[in-house]
Structure 1
Amino acid sequence: MDVRPCADAGLLFELATLDEVLALAAAVRNADLDGVVDVVPAARSLLLRTVPGTDLRGLRKLVLDLPLDVAATRRAGGTVEIPVVYDGPDLGEVARQTGLTPEEVVAAHTGSEWTVGFGGFAPGFAYLAGGDPRLTVARRPIARTRVPAGSVGLAGEFSGIYPRESPGGWQLIGRTDVVLWDADRDPPALLQPGSRVRFVQVERLSGEPRPPARRAPVIDGPRVLEVLATGAQALVQDLGRPGHAATGVGASGAADRCALRLANRLVANPEDAAAIEVTFGGLAVRAGSDLRAPLLVALTGAPAPATVDGKPVGHNALVRLGPGQTLRLGTPPTGLRTYLAVRGGIDVPPLLGSRATDVLAGFGPTPLQPGTVLPIGPEPDAHPLLDVAPVAPPPADTVTLRAVLGPRADWVHDPASLHGSTWTVSDRSDRVGMRLIGGGLTRCRDEELPSEGMVRGAIQVPPGGEPVLFLADHPVTGGYPVVAVVLDADVDRAAQVRPGQRIRFRLVDEP
């Protein structure tokens, strides 16, 4: 077993087969190892995401000493039957690539017992392995911008079912109406790692796949904030939902966790209370007119000019928002994301224990819109201990981020050139990742990398050579090599870097 570090964010264990990956994943979960916050199986590897500061060398030894019982893991999973109408638009192309007739493709797909390997790009999406090897096909050269929910596809050695409408490049051979993800179900994902799947051909479906209706928050009482304007983007965020990556659910959470924690500390909330994350200013919120006492709020992160009913108020300080008063944010001179915490926290319904919005997966509270009314939770027992925090604003010039060479540094000719170049942040950056322009990394391998678990801070290199630095809403797994990983503390700093701003990486030794 080869072990590759991911800076201070975790360890990547390489194994020979998917069966061994699932056996090791089961052993790690049963061992309940200190510091491990997520177990992410993939095609030929297992990623353990860890709490920063975890003794990774000690963890490595503990994991390597765990006994693997592949046979018991195979027996543990149940079997799920999936009814499929085989009328997909790519059925003929799959037949052409495999040399089979369309009828033989269907027979091979239904004649196999597939194994749920690992989660993918969306909650409920699962990579299914172990099918008929004749069904190994290439992805489409151009991905579709819209793949309907319930579409059944093939890519490489895997089969999969799209749990919701999304872009995708798999070869589509059929459709099902099975609901793959239901947050009110226990467990929410129908397809669990290690379970087996059998596809059953049917002539018609009982109905089209429909995601469960979102539960609207119950607004009860005067402690509310009404959203009047959102600017570029305003989201409810907390510290995220780690622990669900195996079923395709990323941790998500605040892009700048340090700023969120500070805002909550100022108003004496628990550090993981939900707040509002505002991108590039423009937020306007009004306190409920029936408030019996002012709301205590705090602004942190990017220093967007702030006013309450037209009067300027400060950042990193306590601000009182009386009944009917309006707080407005302008455009920050530096930084990108501002956080608004309210004493009591934003009290929208949690999903899997978190109120975070994952924009990539379309999971969690919907992005805020004018007219949204946000309930505020009861005030905590603790009281604020300080009125202002002396915190420097995010820098406007070049930002230096510390990074450690990653698990796939050997996939580029000169990984040290990451350190020697100055990179410009593209305007195509978002909460998923920071896309970088300039410099240049040349890949030295042409083959495809089997999908692997990803960490926040991973620097991934697509075939074009321009890196992507993964942020809060990064995909659970990815198929491009990770040549370096930014230290966890510096990922928060990266979340405040604006498009057009420049960054440099400083390579440091493995923690």
Structure 2
Amino acid sequence: MDSIRDISTSTTRGGIVTRFIGDTAVEYSLLTDPTSLGERLQTLSSIANAIRELSIRGIGDVVVSPDRVTVIYDPLLIDCLTTFEARVHAALTQPQSPPTSGKLHDVPVRYGGESGPDFDAVCRAHAIDSKTLIQLHTEPEYVVTAIGFVPGFPYLEGLPKTLETPRLSTPRRRVPAGSVGIGGSQTGVYPFETPGGWHLIGRTDTTFFDPIHSPPALLQPGDRVRFYETNHVDPAPNHATTAEPKGTTPNYITILEPGLMTTVQDLGRSGFRASGFPSSGAADRVSAILANSILGNPENAAVLEYTLLGPTVQFKTDCFIAIAGATNNSLATLRPIRVRRGDTLHLGHVAKGCRGYLAVAGGFCVPLVLNSCSTYMPAKLGGHGGRSLQTGDQLAIGEPLVTSFSTTWSLANDVVPLPTSPCTLRILPEGPVSAAHRAMTSTPMNVTAQSDRMGIRFHGALPPLPATSLSRAVLPGTIQLPPDGKPILLLCDAQTIGGYPVLGQVIAADLPRAAQLRPGDTVCFSETTLADAHRLFRHQHDILGTVQQGITHALGLAGKAE
């Protein structure tokens, strides 16, 4: 990493445009758009396959969207971006095998009524009757150009121009699973209940994502889809979920009061964004790592994450715990704490920060879903039954790696300082400078109460950006600007592909700080450079490593003393 240096954020070579997106992603797009959709998809899929076959250490995901390929990388593992870029471009000049996918899928849809709450509005917008809308929507053979937004969500190209409908000015906070929507020039299906900004015209019971299948998404780029009208209602669920754990082990905790948005999280999952599955994991990764490190757990051990109000927990075994992240006025954080069988821990309201992390020596035991324990609530997958914890839930505790602790030490509270209001978040801007960019970096903005693990929403209204016709890959840290002018900073549970214009990307080093912002906090955005973003991320990693070395020393002393 000493050789990492700033390079041009946009270059063109061999007909391929390379553009760095924030400090953790690179986009590859075609300088000249092929004449046919099939040729474009084949070229993009070939680019994605060529990059995957390189097996470059540090590449986490390769995502195909309708007009580009996005590569997500770890700045800590990519030694030199210039060398990385050269290897990729060298691979792209070699002949590539065409993708083999291209299956035809027939999908039944119930149009209008409760199944399609925007059906009548779309009819009025285009001055057509309901029969014509259904006929126009079912006539084409659509092509899957990308999978994203949420797991299994297909972006379908081929919508008749007479049905093209702008996205909603303000996204819905809840779209029912199976909803069929229109967004701009595309149509698609929401596999899970999730927020969304497309006009909903119908609903289907077809399952579009199942984590036990390989690949987990039903559709792949290049597949074809035909819709047909039906009135049949399938009573079976239209997607797989994580089953509720059964039974208990001798070592476990019981949730007496769940708090707010208390979920099981680890450091998230990588490698599945191409199927629309986001990283999830702890929103404040640094705090989760510290809580585990204090107890000698692996960094990726499962912890409990809570928001503003912590749970009340009863322990059914003797164990050691640690609390990190958001703080309250009565509990010690950043230190090992001994608890006895029958003890009750009341975490209560947090006084500073937003998200707290409760770790237990040995970690919490829940089933792995796509290589992670993390809860992803929009799809009801992972964690404890794919949901936030409820009163009466029981969570098993694993075998600790360290069994003897000194509890007389703690980390300094300023090891990872919580944000104060106003809080500065550093960004890498995107696109040409506009009135919206200038307003965002010159006007403080306030966090709204509608913020969650999918994104932080801000009060105020920025000048609009030109609408985008095609969706593209987005990441934690992406700042989207919907038509209502209220920016959204995407977090760990956010969609993998989105269609709203993008203002820029909060740098990776500042995402833990962003995750600790509370409703009402004031945020100031400040521009930085790619080189500085990588330097700051490395500095944060080095500080964390130094702290972990100190913890290891303390744990070693504890073992000798006791």
Superposed displacement of residue 417, structure 1: 4.5
* Partner Cα distance (1:164, 1:395) in 2: 33
Partner of 2:239: 211
Alignment partner of 1:223 is 2:238: no
Alignment partner of 1:400 is 2:428: no
Q: CA RMSD in A?
A: 3.2
- Look up the SS of the partner of 2:92 in the other structure: coil
Partner of 1:191: 219
- Look up the SS of the partner of 1:76 in the other structure: coil
Given that 2:178 and 2:206 are in contact with CA atoms closer than 8 Å, whether structure 1 keeps it comes out as: yes
Question: Among residues 459, 463, 469, which one is paired with 2:489 in the alignment?
Answer: 469
Give unmatched runs, 5+ long, in structure 2: 1-15, 532-562
Question: Among residues 391, 409, 418, which one is paired with 1:370 in the alignment?
Answer: 391
Alignment partner of 1:238 is 2:256: no
Question: Among residues 409, 427, 437, which one is paired with 1:415 in the alignment?
Answer: 437
Given that 1:449 and 1:481 are in contact with CA atoms closer than 8 Å, whether structure 2 keeps it comes out as: no
Superposed displacement of residue 331, structure 1: 2.8
Segment drifting more, 253-262 vs 6-15: 6-15
Question: Among residues 46, 49, 52, which one is paired with 1:29 in the alignment?
Answer: 52
Alignment partner of 1:3 is 2:26: no
Partner of 1:379: 400
Partner of 2:463: 442
* Structure 1 residues 141 and 391, CA gap change in structure 2 (3 angstroms): closer
Given that 1:360 and 1:475 are in contact with CA atoms closer than 8 Å, whether structure 2 keeps it comes out as: no
Give unmatched runs, 5+ long, in structure 1: 308-313
Question: Among residues 330, 338, 341, which one is paired with 2:348 in the alignment?
Answer: 330
* Partner Cα distance (1:70, 1:94) in 2: 44
Partner of 2:81: 56
Q: Which has the higher helix share?
A: 2
Partner of 2:549: none
Partner of 2:555: none
Superposed displacement of residue 127, structure 1: 1.1
Partner of 2:105: 80
Given that 2:185 and 2:470 are in contact with CA atoms closer than 8 Å, whether structure 1 keeps it comes out as: no
Given that 2:467 and 2:501 are in contact with CA atoms closer than 8 Å, whether structure 1 keeps it comes out as: no
* Partner Cα distance (2:483, 2:134) in 1: 33
Partner of 1:42: 65
Give the partner amino acid of 1:429.
Answer: S
Partner of 1:311: none
* Partner Cα distance (1:201, 1:414) in 2: 43
Superposed displacement of residue 494, structure 1: 1.4
* Structure 1 residues 62 and 132, CA gap change in structure 2 (3 angstroms): farther
Alignment partner of 1:161 is 2:184: no
* Structure 1 residues 107 and 52, CA gap change in structure 2 (3 angstroms): same
* Structure 1 residues 377 and 201, CA gap change in structure 2 (3 angstroms): same
Given that 1:303 and 1:334 are in contact with CA atoms closer than 8 Å, whether structure 2 keeps it comes out as: yes
Given that 1:278 and 1:337 are in contact with CA atoms closer than 8 Å, whether structure 2 keeps it comes out as: yes
* Partner Cα distance (2:494, 2:195) in 1: 16
* Partner Cα distance (1:391, 1:142) in 2: 39
Give the partner amino acid of 1:256.
Answer: D
Deviations 1:204-251 (A, max 9, x none): 466554433531223332210111123233111111112212222111
Segment drifting more, 148-157 vs 214-223: 148-157
Give the partner amino acid of 2:451.
Answer: S
Alignment partner of 1:460 is 2:480: yes
* Partner Cα distance (1:99, 1:70) in 2: 48
Partner of 1:67: 92
| Count, aligned residues | 497
* Partner Cα distance (2:230, 2:419) in 1: 60
In the superposition, the TM-score normalised over structure 2's length comes to: 0.79
Segment drifting more, 458-467 vs 203-212: 203-212
* Structure 1 residues 287 and 182, CA gap change in structure 2 (3 angstroms): same
Question: Among residues 478, 482, 488, which one is paired with 2:498 in the alignment?
Answer: 478
Given that 1:343 and 1:379 are in contact with CA atoms closer than 8 Å, whether structure 2 keeps it comes out as: yes
Partner of 2:305: 277
* Structure 1 residues 135 and 370, CA gap change in structure 2 (3 angstroms): same
In the superposition, the TM-score normalised over structure 1's length comes to: 0.86
* Partner Cα distance (1:412, 1:492) in 2: 28
Given that 2:145 and 2:154 are in contact with CA atoms closer than 8 Å, whether structure 1 keeps it comes out as: yes
* Structure 1 residues 415 and 147, CA gap change in structure 2 (3 angstroms): closer
Given that 2:259 and 2:348 are in contact with CA atoms closer than 8 Å, whether structure 1 keeps it comes out as: no
Superposed displacement of residue 261, structure 1: 0.4
- Look up the SS of the partner of 2:268 in the other structure: coil
- Look up the SS of the partner of 1:469 in the other structure: strand
Given that 2:147 and 2:219 are in contact with CA atoms closer than 8 Å, whether structure 1 keeps it comes out as: no
Segment drifting more, 342-351 vs 12-21: 12-21
Superposed displacement of residue 327, structure 1: 1.2
Question: Among residues 302, 313, 335, which one is paired with 1:317 in the alignment?
Answer: 335
Deviations 1:327-375 (A, max 9, x none): 1113333211111111111111222111212345544331011111111
